Structure 1
Amino acid sequence: MEKTLTGKTYDIQGFSVQDGPGIRTTVFLKGCPLRCPWCHSPESQEFKTELNWMGVRCLGIDACGKCLDACPNGAVTPGPVSQNAAGEDIVCPAVDKSKCDECGACAAACRAGALYMCGTDRTVDEVMRRIERDRPFFEESGGGVTVSGGECLSQPEFTLELLRRCKAAGLHTAVDTTGFVPWEVVEKLLPYTDVFLYDLKNMDSALHRQVIGVPNEPILDNARKIAGAGGRLWVRIPVIPMFNESKAHFDTYGRFLSDIRDAVDIVQLLPYHTLGVSKHDRLLKNDTVFMAEPPSDALMQDRKAQLEGYGLKVRVH
């Protein structure tokens, strides 16, 4: 019996206006080969379904406590005193991740949804039904569907089939990608992808590997090949303090992008922000999280003007 094709999603977001032209529905797939320390969606990195914790929802051990009895591994125990949404002191559960096997029993027992599982397996049919609800917004705004992540091309079969179905339904399509995948994966998507939202983190491969965990040569090569094959690119550059914000580094962006300028519809500069910090806490991993002051408006405008000097259309988000 043939196995049904599914993709592991962690969100499907309607009325998205940041992920391509018009109003869009963005399908977020789980799993990413990169480990950006500033990642604003750390729940997207692992390929498996994971237990998350949102303390503000917790009712407290005394009022509920069902998660303690539900865990078959004894991983959930009474934890520290915290405050609930009403400002009252409550005893919250603590999760020992060394004992947790992500079975989801505690999340199923949690009445308030403070413990919840991130990562849902969906079929293409299920995702298409969700997308079709938003068709009126696409038609009014010139929008469509964006497949994002994580790295959506790390689930290549599902992404390809979803894009095929979207094009067959007459929908505009975008793929939000790091570009760190084999070219063969990208090449198969070209007939079904109207625009690639293409991330460029850093032009120095050694620094890229040191900070993010992978080299950048495949990313740059794939960008050149997309341009050579007639694909369209919206290049996205996260502007990260102490990593890529310097004038010298932006000159390396400018030189590279000017070589493929005819394929680049726009360059989007995305200033670093701290909105993802609280999401790291939800994963219960106690990871070290990158923290810095966001770049100033003046610096962002300087970098915008710098790239415009290379003949590029640039927008600050």
Structure 2
Amino acid sequence: MTGFVHSFDVSTGVDGPGTRFVAFLAGCPLRCQFCHSPDTWHRRNGRPTTAGDLMHEIARYERFIKVAGGGVTVSGGEPLEQPDFVREVLRRSHERGLHTALDTSGFLGDRADDELLSYTDLVLLDIKSGDPATYRKVTGTGRLEPTVRFAHRLAERGVPIWVRFVLVPGLTDEPANVDAVAAIAASVPTVERVEVLPFHRLGAAKYTALGIPFPLAGTPAPDRELVERVRDRFRDHGLSVY
């Protein structure tokens, strides 16, 4: 089984619980205005890698990540562009006793079959916006409904979810949009937490290197007051917020 892997990293407290081996796969159907990794949009930006080769890399860190209460996260790009490869990596990781997480927008959630989800201990679900029109504006071509459908399917299977929401001043910060995301999250019983992620411009240099205009080049990061106000709106819906 071969997939296209852009890169991998070992991180703590960012991509799931504990210290994680994070595999970033290449290819994504969305073009989110705030994307900080445009270099992962196309599969050609990844290198062909077998599941065995990736597991060999994971094995180098296995003892460390187990002791640190972590595991393996498959991210992107959008990992569900390569569901067969993801299924195999999650299966092998699960068989080694490693906690597994899938970081996805849910837009391609229908591609995740029941077997793939049976090897998934946690889903990091990026809900770009709660208002369908804002969702299309944020993602370029995406639709909200597949993400909502995927979230409820996960809940039916009892899969824990951490919702992620990127807060962008002037784009995703409208109270009605925030409340819509919160309502979606509150309607899914296996959502354990919501992470409000302040927008940043750390990926701007990648756009320059690729010769692509950065849509949010003039957008500031949200100030602390806005971030806390948005977090409070999620808390008002009974959600645990970080």
| Range of TM-score over shorter length | over 0.9
Give the secondary-structure state (helix, strand or coil) at the position aligned to 1:126: helix
* Larger radius of gyration between Structure 1 and Structure 2: 1
Segments of 4+ in structure 1 off by > 4 A? none
> Alpha carbon RMSD of aligned pairs, Å?
1.4
C-alpha distance in structure 2 between counterparts of 1:211 and 1:18, whole Å = 23
Q: 2:25 aligns with which of 17, 23, 29?
A: 29
Q: 1:6 aligns with which of 2, 23, 26?
A: 2
Once the two structures are superposed, residues 95-154 of structure 1 have per-residue CA deviations (whole angstroms, 9 ceiling, x without a partner) of xxxxxxxxxxxxxxxxxxxxxxxx211111111111111112222221000000000010
2:37 maps to which residue? 41
2:15 maps to which residue? 19
1:289 maps to which residue? 215
**Runs of 5+ consecutive residues of structure 2 not aligned to the other structure:** none
Give the secondary-structure state (helix, strand or coil) at the position aligned to 2:227: helix
Once the two structures are superposed, residues 130-186 of structure 1 have per-residue CA deviations (whole angstroms, 9 ceiling, x without a partner) of 111111222222100000000001011100000000011111000000101152525
Counting only pairs closer than 5 Å after superposition, residues 97-112 of structure 1 correspond to structure 2 as: none
1:93 maps to which residue? none
C-alpha distance in structure 1 between counterparts of 2:61 and 2:138, whole Å = 38
Give the secondary-structure state (helix, strand or coil) at the position aligned to 2:36: coil
Give me the TM-score of the superposition, normalised by structure 2.
Answer: 0.94
Matched, 1:199 2:122: no
C-alpha distance in structure 2 between counterparts of 1:215 and 1:13, whole Å = 30
Q: 1:146 aligns with which of 59, 73, 93?
A: 73
Query: Relative to structure 1, is the Cα distance of residues 207 and 248 closer, same or farther in structure 2, using a 3 angstrom cutoff?
Result: closer
Query: Relative to structure 1, is the Cα distance of residues 8 and 253 closer, same or farther in structure 2, using a 3 angstrom cutoff?
Result: same
Aligned length: 240
Residues 16 and 26 in structure 1, CA contact (< 8 A), matched pair in contact too: no
Query: Relative to structure 1, is the Cα distance of residues 14 and 288 closer, same or farther in structure 2, using a 3 angstrom cutoff?
Result: closer
C-alpha distance in structure 2 between counterparts of 1:186 and 1:216, whole Å = 20
Report how far residue 209 of structure 1 moved.
Answer: 2.0
Give me the TM-score of the superposition, normalised by structure 1.
Answer: 0.73
Give the secondary-structure state (helix, strand or coil) at the position aligned to 1:24: strand
2:59 maps to which residue? 132
Matched, 1:231 2:227: no
1:94 maps to which residue? none
Matched, 1:240 2:163: no
